[in-house]
Each structure stands twice: as structure tokens, then as C-alpha cells.
Amino acid sequence: MLFAVRMDVDLPPDLDSEVRADLLARERAYCQTLQKSGEWAHIWRCVGQYANISVFDVQDNEALHRILWDLPLHPYMNIEVTPLAQHPSDLAAG
């Protein structure tokens, strides 16, 4: 199943710099592991914002839920999920 996911990050400005660095390092490692597995199919930065739009290719809703809840930055995120379906005008649908 494909999902488009927008993630907006809002880290507290007074977050300890070492805690921030650790969170970001763990987030990057987790994201890259999921990219290598193919579950995190695409990630794009939203220009001028601390946000991204990603495409996940996972088995089901529960798999996506688990992935999102396990993000180290999850407590500091606003997440919007949109399930995707193939468009009938897509050349690949032919």
C-alpha cells in the first residue's frame, strides 16, 4: 500500500543541544534504514519549512502506523497521512 505522508517538525527552541543532536542522528539512521528496505520510497523537503513529504510503500495501515510511531522525532511532529491509489490516466495503469 502506498501512502503520502507530510511531516511537520516543531522542536522546542530550548531543547538541549545534545538531546537535539541525538534525536536528529537517530532519525536520520532510522529513515535511511527504511529507505534501504524500500518501505520509505521517497522523501522530499518542503522548501523553507522544517517539513517533508514522503511516500511509504508498506504492507498495510498497521505497518505505517508502527513506522511513524517509532520515528525518534514523532513526539515533535504533526503528521498527515493520505492513502494513495493508482490513477486511471497513469501510463503504468495501461
**pLDDT tens figures, 15-37:** 999 999 999 999 999 999 999 99
What cell was used for 33?
534504514
Q: What is the pLDDT of residue 23?
A: 98
C-alpha R_g of the chain: 15
Q: What is the pLDDT of residue 92?
A: 82
Cβ(52)–Cβ(6) below 8 Å: yes
**Domain residue spans in the chain?**
2-86
pTM of the model: 0.92
Specify whether domain 2-86 bears CATH 3.30.70.1060.
Answer: yes
**pLDDT tens figures, 47-81:** 999 999 999 999 999 999 999 999 999 999 999 99
Q: What is the pLDDT of residue 93?
A: 76
β-pair partners for 56: 3, 40
> What is d(CA 15, CA 33) in angstroms, rounded to the nearest whole number?
26
